[in-house]
Amino acid sequence: MLLKTFGWSFAVTALGLIAAVLYGGWAGFGIVAVLSILEISVSFDNAVVNAGILKKMNAFWQKIFLTVGVLIAVFGMRLVFPVVIVAVSARIGPIDAVRLALDDKAEYQQLVTDAHPSIAAFGGIFLLMIFLDFIFEDRDFKWLAWLERPLARLGKIDMLSACIALIVLLVSATTFATNAHQYGGIHADKTETVLIAGIAGLVTYLVVGGLSGHFENKLEEEEEREHEAEEAARTSGTKVPAVVMAGKAAFFLFLYLEVLDASFSFDGVIAAFAITNDIVLMSLGLGIGAMYVRSLTVYLVRQGTLDDYVYLEHGAHYAIGALAVILLVTIRYEIHEVVTGLVGVVLIGWSFVSSVRRNRRLAPARTQGTGADGKAEVPSGV
């Protein structure tokens, strides 16, 4: 079962790591490994959400999502999109960006370094919005309860996330951007560039969120109609069939999943710029991570259950928030890639340990049948 589900991921991992060593030596190997872990970490909850929705689709649309969807996720968002980001920010053509990355690394590095303030501002604000919307939402499970409870109460204020993001952008533009780091160790005033790029990142997040909300509403409408059909079947005494979506409903589900997946892959691509500017290593690392996310989705669907480590989603979003801050700071100051990579690994590991501890505390109550269930709020105690 494990080899059948993750076989392609294992093969892509082996090929990707070999290519990383041949291209960038053991340093390249390390960067690709960190990027793979980062992508899996920040997209773990995406796999869980995908599995919950994918099981409602019929076999045909499941196969479409796991074939066409993989092509879009791996080759579209993880391979093509990093090139587009560099090309737009450096104001060169995509083909030129690829050529420079492969043939003239010195000039490519200069262009990317000089364009880094705009990349960092765009990505930092985009990631910050994801973190803020997560932390301001009142959730059933709370990891750091002492922090998340008051923030959830503050989250009832409309547009609070966007207001905070704009304030952070203004502070970053008037502090870090006034003396931004450029190629060769020089500094330049990039205030206007950072403001424009940051606003573009905020608008992009709002557009992606709007599209996701649109398709989610379509999904909720379809589920409501299904519920009414089930109630009618129970009233008439007929057998309630297992609901599997097809046709237009499945198509909307497919579009919703692709928009959702694009938003998560966008996080990974943007976060990757905090670790490396090399699009080859970036594409290898994110491609490997994306394959595991898809394999995990298939595994969860085939097993018929979702993962019980409830704090992993929190850890992933805290890692996103930390990376957002790091990106904005790197507009002016250089931060070592190892530090950036370890922040995410530590937060994910911490949330995993907290989840294990929570499950151990709940185990006796479940065994004795005291009525405790997995939906009860059990803070981690940290």
Q: What is the pLDDT of residues 141-172, one digit of tens each?
A: 888 888 888 888 888 887 888 999 999 999 99
**Beta-carbon neighbour count of residue 128 at 10 Å?**
26
Q: How far apart are CA 104 and CA 361, in angstroms?
A: 57
> Using one digit for the tens of pLDDT, what is the confidence trace for 325-355?
888 888 888 776 667 767 777 887 888 888 8
- Say yes or no to pLDDT of 289 above 80: yes
- Per cent of the chain over pLDDT 90 is 5
The DSSP string of 199-216 is HHHHHHHHHHHHHHHHHH
Provide the pLDDT confidence category of residue 43 given band limits of 50, 70 and 90: low
- Comparing 7 with 325, the larger pLDDT belongs to 325
Q: Name which residue leads in pLDDT, 377 or 280.
A: 280
Reduced to 3 states, what is the DSSP secondary structure of residue 188?
A: strand
Predicted confidence at residue 89, as pLDDT, reads: 67
Residue 300 has pLDDT above 90, yes or no: no
Higher pLDDT, 66 or 18: 18
Q: Supply the pTM of this predicted model.
A: 0.70
pLDDT at residue 165 in the model: 93
Residues 6+ apart with CB under 8 A from 193: 117, 118, 121, 177
Q: What's residue 52's pLDDT?
A: 66
Residue 241 DSSP class: P
**Structure confidence at residue 168 (pLDDT):** 93
Question: Rounded to an integer, what distance in angstroms lies between the CA atom of residue 144 and that of residue 311?
Answer: 9
Determine the Cα–Cα distance for residues 271 and 308; give it in Å rounded to an integer: 26
Instruction: Please tell me whether residue 366 adopts helix, strand or coil conformation.
Output: helix
Query: Is residue 205 predicted with pLDDT exceeding 70?
Result: yes
User: Are the beta carbons of 376 and 142 closer than 8 angstroms?
Assistant: no
Tell me the backbone φ, ψ of residue 245, rounded to 5 degrees: -80, 145
pLDDT of 47 over the 60 cut: yes
Mean residue pLDDT of the chain comes to: 76
Per-residue pLDDT tens over the stretch 353-378: 888 888 888 777 666 655 444 444 44
User: Are 327 and 273 contacting, i.e. CB atoms less than 8 angstroms apart?
Assistant: yes
pLDDT beyond 90 at 291: no
Evaluate if residue 61 carries a pLDDT over 70.
yes
pLDDT of the residue at 373: 47
Higher pLDDT pick, 21 / 256: 21
The token pair that represents 309 in the structure block: 């480590």
CA distance 296 to 174: 43
Query: What gap in Å lies between CA 166 and CA 176, rounded to an integer?
Result: 15
Strand partners, 188: 180
Structure tokens given for 363: 């185990």
Q: Which two tokens stand for residue 329?
A: 């700071």
240 has a pLDDT exceeding 80: no
DSSP assignment letter at 57: B
**Amino acid at the residue 158:** D
Task: State the Cα angle at 42 between 108 and 125, rounded to 5°.
Answer: 60
Contact predicate 19/284, CB 8 Å: yes
Token pair 């290519």 is at which residue? Answer: 19
pLDDT recorded at residue 184: 62
Res. 243 pLDDT band, cuts 50 70 90: very low
Q: Which residue did the predictor score with more confidence, 16 or 373?
A: 16
Whether 92 contacts 114, CB under 8 Å: no
- pLDDT, mean of residues 35-61: 71
pLDDT class of 42 with cuts at 50, 70, 90:
low
Positions of E strands within the chain: 180-181, 187-188
Contact 380, 358 (CB under 8 A): yes
Q: What's the chain's length in residues? A: 382
- 274 pLDDT exceeds 80? no
